Chain A
Amino acid sequence: MESALQSIWFFLWGLLWAVFFMTDGFDLGIGTLLPFLGKNDTEKRLMINSIGPLWDGNEVWLITAGGVTFAAFPTVYAFMFSSLYTPLMLILFALIIRGVSFEFRGKIESEAWKKLWDTCIFISSAAPAILFGVAFANIFQGLPFDQNGYHGNLIYLLNPYGLLGGVLFLMLFLVHGALWLTIRTPGALQARADAAANNLWFVLTGVAVLFLGATYVYTPIYANYLSRPVLFVVPLITVIALFGIKFLVMKKQYLKAWFSSAATIVSATFFCIIGLYPNLFPSNVDAIYSLTAHNASASPLTLKIMLVVVLMFIPIVIAYQVWAYVMFSDQLSAEDLAAEEAY
């Protein structure tokens, strides 16, 4: 019973991260694409306003993932975030700057002012995208810690596999973001977003193949799959969804292409989460030090209460977020930008 509860929480934990990457992923992608696709102020504003109503709600998935790590796996929360102190601080500072940039950018009519915040949006979107990838890739391959604590630092995390993870996340988010722009922006910007999605898809696919190979070399992630081959259906979904993106973009079915990209991100995250199970924060010194769903969880009572809370409220959250997404998935126009409240 207790072990089952811990396993349920392990996968809920994975699900929260997956949904965070799926939702805030396209915000980070669009922020990174800002200087490349937005040729003038109107286009930049279209890009920012395409995520204007949604980015804040999306970011709460990160807060919830963090909060749930704290509640369900307090030892992991404590050890993971103090070990990954510097990269996490960098991510947090970036997210802080990104959030205020949207709000501040349009408040003063000045070229230099806007340029400042455009630069901030670019850096503070690209950096978390890469750093999340670096952090998770390092978790997949295990981190250097034993009974005396953590022995790594930021430079250690920037190993080849970690960096490859960073590039993979960035590419996933760029494609995801470009696809959102094809849905919500008009005219030349939409055409450029279409071209970007098409071209970046090749890079993404190349990086994904490399990552899958490197994962076999650097991590024990495939072990769970080899012992239960039926699980290979998850990466299969990823591959189908990935090719679905290309197919649907070529047919100009942008909304469906975006969903295919969302499925790619969620299934790719789950591919790794399943391979990681039951480890949440594995040690590469010796497996006995690894923090797992079973040795690092909260008490059964807390897990039960939190399960009730999550099962009651997350469906409600999804319901009103879907409502908001439906409301704000239409194509933007010049009229929308003229509104006083637009960014």
Chain B
Amino acid sequence: MDVVLLSRLQFAAATMFHFLFVPLTLGLSVLVAYMETQYVRTGDETYLSMTKFWAKLFLINFAVGVVTGITLEFQFGTNWSRYSAYVGDIFGSLLAIEATTSFFLESTLLGVWIFGWKKLSKKAHAAVMWLVAMAGTLSSIWILLANGWMQHPVGYTLRNGRAELESFAAVVTNKFGILEFFHTVSSAYVLSAFFVMGISAYHLLKKQHIEFFTRSFKIALVFGLASSLFVAISGDTHGVHVSEVQPAKLAAMEAHWETTQRAPIHIFAIPDADSEKNIIEIGSIPGLLSLMSFHDINAEVKGLKDFPKSERPPVMLTFISFRIMVGLGTLFILLTIYGWFKRNRLLESTNYLKVMLFAIPLPYLAIELGWVLAEVGRQPWIVYGLMKTSDAVSPIAGSQVLFSLIGFVVVYGLLGAIGFYLITINAKKGPVLEKHL
């Protein structure tokens, strides 16, 4: 079979699976650190129970997230060796810096936190959790700068048959990566907030541990409301930048075929790559695409037809992913605003609680589709404008990749099923209430 296709499938499987666990790690660590801080400040033992309950779920999630991250560090070498040799000078150093400055801190201190309840003072113990949360966020800066470089390469020069570092400052201040960072981390916070609200809703609907879960819900609600608004703002800024530096992605995510001024946005469309048009267009709003992309209603937006066929991303997947992501993001804002008005009558708002319980998977879907948009929308490039994905794979046998791909699907499938099962049963079991420490 085709090595490029198999390697892409494997990378997608490994990365998307890894990213089922990363966002909750990023956001829940902040919430757990906040709960523990409240315990240290007030001495209220409900906060201690909250810290321990949510940390238990956090740790199961972290375990699966961390082990599936290991493969990613090596997969560039195993499956994308031509890419690695070509861009390692820049891309590799960002990964190495991530491990050295952030991942070490997160992994070492999390061990200290889990086992250090009796060995550290209360204040020091809470401070360790803040460091874990901070290290996770710091990690994501480096990873997203690395991805940002693939999306919009800067600070390099072509020399010795590869991309060599020209300006480190340009690489670490790459606007693309920084915007991705804000958008991704705030989305991760939304996901974590919905996770906490959903599980709290489950228990509130059963009228059990009411004080415990009302408090958890409210903390997550504030966190989720602020984050979901920030996701929208950062998303808009990010979108404007994409329009500027990745015009083909913009055209694909809006199914925009002809270069026009006052370009419209279609609420719904079915794009067809073969006939180079949309078979169905519903609810087209003239000028909105120009306005959103360039903040000018008369701006010209380049259409897909003005890109060679070999340089167009898969339009259907990019278009659909973007639509669903934006729709869900809007829904999250509405749900958290509604929750804000219901915050003192949560127990009676059973319909709202039911919605929030069933909303748990939605941010997972939104965040995965966000990555589909970012990565599929960048195709056919692995490094935008610089290297094609098809030129980046390792010169290895398709059978090798096929076997490892099957291995990934089987092993990850089992781990994911077990991980989510354990999270579910522990979430349903509810907290162990602390009597004293």
Contact = CB atoms under 8 A, between A and B. Distances in A.
Contact of B407 (A89, A324, A342): A89
A327 B404 CA distance: 39
Given A107-B422, A298-B89, A313-B101, A67 B95 contact: yes
Interface residues of A, number: 66
A124 to B, nearest CB: 10
A253 interface: no
Contact of A82 (B71, B99, B112, B396): B396
B400 A309 contact: no
B88 A63 contact: no
B97 A309 contact: yes
Contact of A301 (B96, B107, B164): B164
A144 interface: no
B340 interface: no
Kindly list the 9 A-B residue pairs having the minimum CB-CB distance in the complex, ordered from nearest: A74-B88, A81-B77, A70-B92, A57-B108, A67-B96, A103-B63, A53-B111, A82-B394, A78-B81
B81 A70 contact: no
Contacts of A327: 112, 116, 119
Contact of B52 (A67, A82, A340): A340
Given A62-B70, A67-B99, A93 B407 contact: yes
B232 interface: no
Interface residues of B, number: 70
B168 A93 contact: no
B279 interface: no
A107 B422 CA distance: 7
B149 interface: no
A256 to B, nearest CB: 23
A88 to B, nearest CB: 6
Contact of A74 (B85, B396, B426): B85
Given A57-B104, A77-B84, A107-B422, A302 B111 contact: no
Interface in B73-96: 73-74, 76-79, 81-85, 87-93, 95-96
With most chain A CB atoms within 10 A of its CB, the pick from B64, B93, B98, B117 is: B93
B432 interface: yes
Interface in A321-343: 321, 323-324, 327-328, 339-342
Secondary structure type dominating chain A contacts:
helix
B67 interface: yes
B395 A57 contact: no
B67 A99 contact: yes
Contact of B89 (A92, A299, A323): A299
Contact of B88 (A60, A70, A108): A70
Interface string A254-297: 00000000000000000000000000000000000000000000
A81 B78 contact: yes
B149 to A, nearest CB: 13
Nearest to B90: A302
B409 interface: no
A78 B81 CA distance: 4
A87 B81 CA distance: 16
A74 B76 CA distance: 11
Contacts of B82: 78
A181 to B, nearest CB: 17
Interface in B150-171: 159-160, 162, 164-166, 168
With most chain B CB atoms within 10 A of its CB, the pick from A57, A82, A314 is: A82
Given A89-B407, A95-B67, A95-B70, A75 B85 contact: yes
B394 A70 contact: no
Given A56-B110, A62-B70, A339 B99 contact: no
Interface in B274-313: none
B111 to A, nearest CB: 4
A69 B84 CA distance: 11
A5 to B, nearest CB: 14
